[in-house]
Amino acid sequence: MAAAPARCPDCPGPEPGGGGGTPAVPHLGIAVDEGDVLPGALRIVRRLRPAWEPATVKTKLFTDGITNKLVACYTAEGMGDALLVRVYGRKTELLVDRETELRNFQVLRAHGCAPDLYCAFQNGLCYQFLPGIALGPHHVRDPHICRLVAREMARVHAIHANGSLPRPILWQKLHKYLGLVKTELSPKVSDPSLPQDVPSPAALEQELAWMEETLPQLGSPVVLCHNDLLCKNIIYDSTRERVRFIDYEYTGYNYQAFDIGNHFNEFAGVKEVDYGLYPSKETQLQWLHSYLQAYKELTQGHPGDSQVSPEELEMLYVQVNKFSLASHFLWACWGLIQD
């Protein structure tokens, strides 16, 4: 099942204009104050929508983002014409390569897997609002929504790599994060106030070395991954019966099984974590069957006629649950850095 990803046949081709077949994105010389986003967001809207009467512009501040601030600006009822202004959190450049994020956003948009991107500004992006609801832990266990998420992930994974054989970003990212952790954590290891269940930097290095030696041997293919598919990054549009993924800060080529295992970990929630919600094997196999069927249709060109063997299903199940360990490790380091 480790077929190389091809162009997704159901997605539109790349749009003309930008480098690498992606459209050019306007860059505005505006910086938005992270502590008071509305004035800066409205400045951006005036540049992008000069015909809008300022007095008629409504705003809605979203609070679900963990590291960024997000505000919608709109005039129409139902927010049908809304622009989203996303302001990067302070020092998030330590964790996120913003140029790569912008490039990946454009690639996903060119293949119909992301909203329209209106502009970049000094510390953020402005893009199209996607109607629907951001999922919660109870939604992702719904069998119907599960199938939609699995098939949408297959669409992203099927985007081609322009003939090149991409390297997974996992190890580079883990080494970078662990380096940041060691810088901050090493002087504190002997500090009695440090929680005793935080491993030492040396123990974390051993864990990483074990994963780096063990996980690549599982044979999971490298595909374009979202890499951060927590519930709130999935928008469900019930009128079109479709889900879309948002927030591409961590998007990049990575192991297929990592992206799926990371999503399964997110079933447990974020603020109130309950690992009893991690999907059972039966639930996983149903999800993985929908995913594999869609992925094979997209990469092998047999719509509606892609059979999934029990052996393929079991192999992916094993890969996913082992790569979920790397997901735990990555976000544990991320949490230490955030702290």
User: Which pLDDT tens digit goes with each residue over 261-318?
Assistant: 999 999 998 888 999 999 999 999 999 999 999 999 999 876 666 789 999 999 999 9
Task: Estimate the crossing angle of helix 281-300 against helix 143-157, to 10 degrees.
Answer: 40
Q: What is the pTM of this model?
A: 0.88
List 70's β-bridge partners, or say none: 62, 86
Supply 261's token pair.
Answer: 């295992």
Residue 230 — very low, low, confident or very high, per pLDDT cuts 50/70/90?
very high
Q: Are 178 and 208 in contact (CB under 8 A)?
A: yes
Q: Which two tokens stand for residue 237?
A: 């549009």
Check whether 15 has a pLDDT greater than 80. no
Token couple for 56: 């008629």
Q: Is the pLDDT of residue 131 over 70?
A: yes
- First vs last Cα of the chain: how many Å apart? 40
Q: Are 143 and 282 in contact (CB under 8 A)?
A: no
- Class (C level, CATH) for 134-185+198-338: alpha beta
Tell whether the model's pLDDT for residue 58 goes beyond 80.
Answer: yes
Q: Report whether 258 contacts 326 (CB < 8 A).
A: yes
User: In b/e form, how buried is each residue of 189-218, taking b as 16+ CB within 10 angstroms?
Assistant: eeeeeeeeebeebeebeebbeebeeebeee
Read off the pLDDT of residues 68-110 as tens digits, 9 standing for 90 and up. 899 999 999 989 999 999 999 887 887 889 999 999 999 999 9
User: Would you list the domain boundaries of the chain?
Assistant: 37-129, 134-185+198-338
> CA-CA distance, 72 to 57, in Å (whole number)?
10
Tell me yes or no: is domain 37-129 CATH 3.10.129.10: no
pLDDT score of 247 more than 50: yes
Closest CA to 332 of 152, 189, 96, 174: 174
Closest CA to 263 of 249, 245, 238: 245
Kindly report the number of other CB atoms within 10 A of residue 295's CB atom: 27
User: Number of C-alpha atoms within 13 angstroms, CB side, residue 110?
Assistant: 22
- State residue 109's pLDDT score: 95
